[in-house]
Amino acid sequence: MNQEASPPVVQADLSVSLGRLRLPNPVLVASGTFGYAREMAGLVDLARLGGIVPKTITRLPRPGNAPWRTIETAAGMLNSIGLDNDGVDAFIEHHLPYLASLGAPAIISVAGKDFEDFVFLAERLNGLPGVAALELNVSCPNVSGGVDFGTDPEMCRRVVQGVRKACSVPILAKLTPNVSRIADVAIAAEAGGADALTLINTCLGMAVDWRGRRSMLGNVMGGLSGPAIKPIALRCVHQCRQAVSIPIVGVGGIATIDDAMEFFITGATAIQVGTANFFRPTASIEIVGLAL
Ligand SMILES: Cc1cc2nc3c(=O)[nH]c(=O)nc-3n(C[C@H](O)[C@H](O)[C@H](O)COP(=O)(O)O)c2cc1C
């Protein structure tokens, strides 16, 4: 056989490290846009993903916000789900065994209304089979009444540090863009002991039915996501890349390999696909395939 005519097949190693968390590749799916993975199993080869971040869970069940909860916008969507979930115990019983069986690392997203909630969740999940890492959702725009860990750097540092002491698994702190200086919050999360940052959660927005003279979302305001927020997410990755040395997971408007590459070039070590899962459920796997 003419060796020169057939170039060698390269087995690309796409694995990346987010601090102590090793991922088979840098393409993950974002919390709240992929259910608990079971819903997507018929559409996506889940084992090929770099990681799965299921819907955020809380200590106790939450019914979520009043409808409407999602609105399509010109270049994305608004949501105000309000962290609708059945609580950590139901998650451990019904969803975690399935996530543990998939072959892709599961990064469990948690949110608390106060410091004690976050620590409780970290202790409860620590060491359970299937928990590769925790993603601290200190950035949900759709819940009120709790402490705003994502906007006050010192509160952010304290909650990350509290979780750090309460568990041994790697921690990702997911930050909100709805602040004037995201780098300050990033520095605080790093100081608290975060292994990596996830940037960004949704941008606070609103849709109005002017004829009905009312806001279209039941919760009045909600989080904007999708292509509209990619420039904001890239800006946040850029600003935080200058400010911290821990790895960054970029998320916001990523639907194609070109979007993903823009984040890598800006300093992200890995990316998450969010809203694109709704209009092209195979988007994440297509990006993995094109990277190979
Ligand atoms: C319907 C919906 C639900 C979401 N729920 C969560 C959630 O429970 N926890 C969380 O951390 N982020 C949640 N997000 C935010 C996404 O994970 C992601 O950070 C954001 O949508 C930006 O990425 P994208 O533009 O690719 O969607 C949600 C987003 C959408 C659209």
The predicted structure's pLDDT at residue 2: 55
pLDDT in tens, 132-156: 999 999 987 766 555 689 999 999 9
274 in contact with ligand 1, CB cutoff 6 A: yes
229 in contact with ligand 1, CB cutoff 6 A: yes
Contact 125, 153 (CB under 8 A): no
Ligand 1 atom 19, closest CA: 201
Ligand 1 atom 12, closest CA: 31
Give me 163's structure tokens. Answer: 């979780």
202 in contact with ligand 1, CB cutoff 6 A: yes
50 in contact with ligand 1, CB cutoff 6 A: no
Ligand 1 atom 5, closest CA: 32
Q: Which ligand 1 atom is nearest residue 135's CA?
A: 11
**Cα–Cα distance between 185 and 176 in angstroms, integer?**
9
Mean pLDDT of 172-190: 97
Q: pLDDT > 90: what percent of the chain?
A: 91
C-alpha 78 to ligand 1 mean position (Å):
10
The verdict on whether 140 is a catalytic residue reads yes
The predicted structure's pLDDT at residue 227: 98
Residue 187 above 70 pLDDT?
yes
pLDDT in tens, 11-26: 789 999 999 999 999 9
Options 140, 156, 203, 240, the catalytic residue: 140
Ligand 1 atom 2, closest CA: 32
Mean pLDDT of 112-118: 94
Ligand 1 atom 7, closest CA: 32
Residue 213 above 90 pLDDT?
yes
Q: Which ligand 1 atom is nearest residue 253's CA?
A: 25
The predicted structure's pLDDT at residue 292: 66
C-alpha 179 to ligand 1 mean position (Å):
17
Residue 1 above 80 pLDDT?
no
Residue 4 above 80 pLDDT?
no
The region of weakest confidence among 7-16, 21-30, 44-53, 56-65 is 7-16
Mean pLDDT of 187-201: 98
- E-strand ranges in the chain read 16-18, 21-23, 27-29, 51-52, 70-73, 76-79, 107-110, 133-137, 171-175, 196-199, 203-205, 208-209, 214-215, 222-225, 248-251, 270-273
Please report, in angstroms and rounded to a whole number, the separation of the first and last CA atoms in the chain: 26
How would you classify the pairing of strands 214-215 and 208-209? Answer: antiparallel
pLDDT, mean over the chain? 94
275 in contact with ligand 1, CB cutoff 6 A: yes
pLDDT in tens, 219-273: 999 999 999 999 999 999 999 999 999 999 999 999 999 999 999 999 999 999 9
- pTM above 0.85? yes
